[in-house]
Amino acid sequence: MTAPVDLANNPLTHWTGPLGLPDFTSISQADFGPVFDRAIAAHQAEVAAIVNNPAPPTVENTMAAMELSGEALERVSSIFWCLAGANTNDEIQRLERAIAPKMARHYSSISMNPALFARIDALYQQRTTLGLDAETLRVLEKSWKGLVRSGARLDAEGKTRLSAINERLAALGARFGQNVLADESSWAHFLDGGDDLAGLPDFLKGAMAAAAEQRGQKGKYAITLSRSIYEPFMMFSERRDLREKAFRAFTGRGENGGEADNGEVVRETLALRAEKAKLLGYASYAALKLDDTMAKTPAAVLGLLEPVWEKARSRAAADEQELARIAAAAGRNHPIAGWDWRYYQEKLRAERFAFDEAELKPYFQLDRIITACFDVATKLFGISFEERVGIATWHPDCRVFSVKRADGTPFALFVADYFARPSKRSGAWMSALQSGFGLGKGSRPIIYNVMNFAKPAAGEPALLSLDEARTLFHEFGHALHGMLTEVTWPSVAGTAVSRDFVELPSQLYEHWMTVPEVLAAHALHYRTGEPMPKALIDKMIAARNFGAGFNTVEFTSSALVDMAYHARGDAPDAPLAFEAETLEKLGMPEAIAMRHRTPHFGHVFAGDGYSAGYYSYMWSEVLDADAFAAFEEAGNAFDKATAEKLLKNIYAAGGSKDPEELYLAFRGRMPTAEAMMAKRGLT
């Protein structure tokens, strides 16, 4: 007979590692299933104690008790989902398929508990007479509305059906992500050298050699579907046949037939989402998801996206003519195809600005860009970072940093996992092992960033592209949002804000990467230590909006297709045909692919995070363009007074107030889309 799980002493729930981390050296995958089951049962018991409390509901015995419940479940969950994204394997994936629906079922039972809703509803109806501070009032209102949107007012039959829908959607989301990872990790095309490598710069050949060796093909060069290899290969390879092979593999992820095909997963997901919205009384799933955002309605989203789309499509059409001119001059009279665009665009950049991306890479060494991120945070917010070596995490590549206030007091931990590997899903993200808040005994934030940069050969430095350096700043902006939080309630801590506000701190932080004094201090040649020459900086700045048509078409088409799927009252029977029809109506350029086609659109289908919400990157971009202008107007990218307002109202405030109220407190007014379009070079 198996001994019962002791949550008080299991390393998944009782963290005894250095600096308050879990002891990753003691974690056993075999423990996850039993610990999840025991932690769910413990959480259910805590909720039962709250709803069965004979005392009248109060903020303390109901709201605070609910927010502090489920600690063991949160701890095991944070470790498990970290591994599922950053260092998975067959056993983790098997567990994920079982745990995702189980967790959905558990949280559905809580959100639909009539006795719990009765207690929250009693407080909500009295909210104006309870003397609540602004943050507590907001948490109460969000809790009440969240329960209603989760089915608290449905009848028994409706609750049963909604719970089943949520459970199935969780299973589908896990399957979708695993299918994409299977296609990404299993596909590699190996090259022998010679003509196969024509046009490739040394940094890319080194990354491809390392990727091949990692896959057991030492001495060869691997094209992989990691963006850190795929995109530069598409820029520089002179072999059109190889570019086509890579392009078709990249854009075909999740659409290859067999067990890893996502076509049926997407169809069922959209059907269940439409049914869920109707069950909850919404006209569409987009209406449901946008109810608690700044945008509020699909019409408001389209009001932003459609004008941008028209400008971007026009710019891309003009650029395509220029690319065809360059191809023709080289004796290539074929139409520009999807596998040609990046290649000829890079030649057009060289023609217009007399430099290419390969010239920048030697100045964007990973370690120096990490230091640049830290340096900017020190100048803006007075915090510092100390690396702590020799601390075990989920993978040997991870690095751990203690984060300290100006007086030297540690207040957060930051863990960074930078390099691509087959066990990691693609993309870049921020998450938390532990959020920071003040309620009860309080909690110190433990925040992590995950990237997918190409790992260099042993002894060689990791060099980043301009876009990768921006990505590093972007995700670190999210990390700061999590680390700098100064709120009481866990449910509004850090990045727990509306989806179309959460990208503001990250996208805003990108601006500091190209501030002259940051470049001067950190954009140093990895061999000579010399700063990037002013002439090259000037070219880089002049070219910052180069390719705006292509980049904006890639993004906006994805956002428009996402909204088209979810703004309908029903679901399309054939989603991929619907994708094609939608793009045809939009006038999508044939030579440009969506940044995320439906079968691998993880933001939207590998879970619920950005469904009907991919537009939020652009919505936040409207805000970030205007927000950085506040520093420009002050005449100093590190203006102290502006930085203090930024910290108080954006990075530290979490979701403690309505996002519009927070932005107005920082800037004094709301922005218009013109600043964003000017930033993109579309005016």
Stretch 596-603: mean pLDDT, rounded?
A: 97
Token output for 519: 């470049």
Report residue 356's pLDDT band, with 50, 70 and 90 as the boundaries.
confident
pLDDT score of 673: 87
- For residues 113 and 47, the answer to whether their CB atoms sit within 8 Å is yes
**pLDDT tens digits, one per residue of 119-163:** 999 999 999 999 999 999 999 999 999 999 999 999 999 999 999
**pLDDT tens digits, one per residue of 485-504:** 999 999 999 999 999 999 99
Q: At residue 683, does pLDDT exceed 80?
A: no
Stretch 467-483: mean pLDDT, rounded?
A: 98
Report residue 165's pLDDT band, with 50, 70 and 90 as the boundaries.
very high
pLDDT score of 355: 85
Question: CB neighbours (10 Å) of residue 355?
Answer: 17
**Nearest partner of 440 among 36, 59, 40, judged by Cα:** 59
Report residue 175's pLDDT band, with 50, 70 and 90 as the boundaries.
very high
**Residue ranges of the domains in the chain?**
18-176, 190-241, 362-542
User: How many percent of the chain have pLDDT more than 70?
Assistant: 100
- Cβ-based burial of 333 (10 A; exposed 0-12, middle 13-18, buried ≥19): exposed
Token output for 387: 């690396």
pTM (two decimals): 0.95
Q: How far apart are CA 505 and CA 627, in angstroms?
A: 10
Residues 6+ apart with CB under 8 A from 625: 671, 675, 676, 678, 679
Q: At residue 640, does pLDDT exceed 80?
A: yes
pLDDT score of 80: 98
User: How many percent of the chain have pLDDT more than 90?
Assistant: 95
Question: CB neighbours (10 Å) of residue 179?
Answer: 24
Stretch 429-435: mean pLDDT, rounded?
A: 98
Q: At residue 24, does pLDDT exceed 90?
A: yes
CATH architecture of the domain 362-542 equals Orthogonal Bundle (1.10)
| Domains 18-176 and 362-542 are alike in CATH topology | yes
- Give residue 9's identity as a one-letter amino acid code: N
**Nearest partner of 22 among 418, 400, 485, judged by Cα:** 400
- The DSSP letter of residue 531 is B
Exposed e or buried b for every residue in 189-202, given b needs 16+ CB within 10 A?
Answer: bebeeeebbeebbe
pLDDT score of 661: 97
Q: At residue 412, does pLDDT exceed 90?
A: yes
Helix (H, G, I), strand (E, B) or coil at 222: strand
Residues 6+ apart with CB under 8 A from 195: 239
Q: How far apart are CA 236 and CA 554, in angstroms?
A: 20
**pLDDT tens digits, one per residue of 546-569:** 999 999 999 999 999 999 999 999
Report residue 682's pLDDT band, with 50, 70 and 90 as the boundaries.
confident
pLDDT score of 604: 98
pLDDT score of 161: 98
468 catalytic per annotation? no
Strand partners, 447: 414, 432
- H/E element holding 559? helix 548-566
Q: How far apart are CA 533 and CA 456, in angstroms?
A: 25
What is the rounded average pLDDT for all residues in the chain?
96
pLDDT score of 158: 98
Q: How far apart are CA 363 and CA 326, in angstroms?
A: 28
* Catalytic annotation, pick one of 74, 231, 320, 475: 475
Stretch 623-651: mean pLDDT, rounded?
A: 97
Looking at domain 18-176, which of 2.60.40.1180, 3.30.365.10, 1.10.1370.40, 3.40.190.10 is its CATH number? Answer: 1.10.1370.40
Report residue 221's pLDDT band, with 50, 70 and 90 as the boundaries.
very high
pLDDT score of 681: 85
Report residue 1's pLDDT band, with 50, 70 and 90 as the boundaries.
very low
Q: How far apart are CA 576 and CA 572, in angstroms?
A: 9
Computed from CA positions of residues 315, 500, 379, 626, in that sequence, does the dihedral angle turn out positive or negative?
Answer: positive
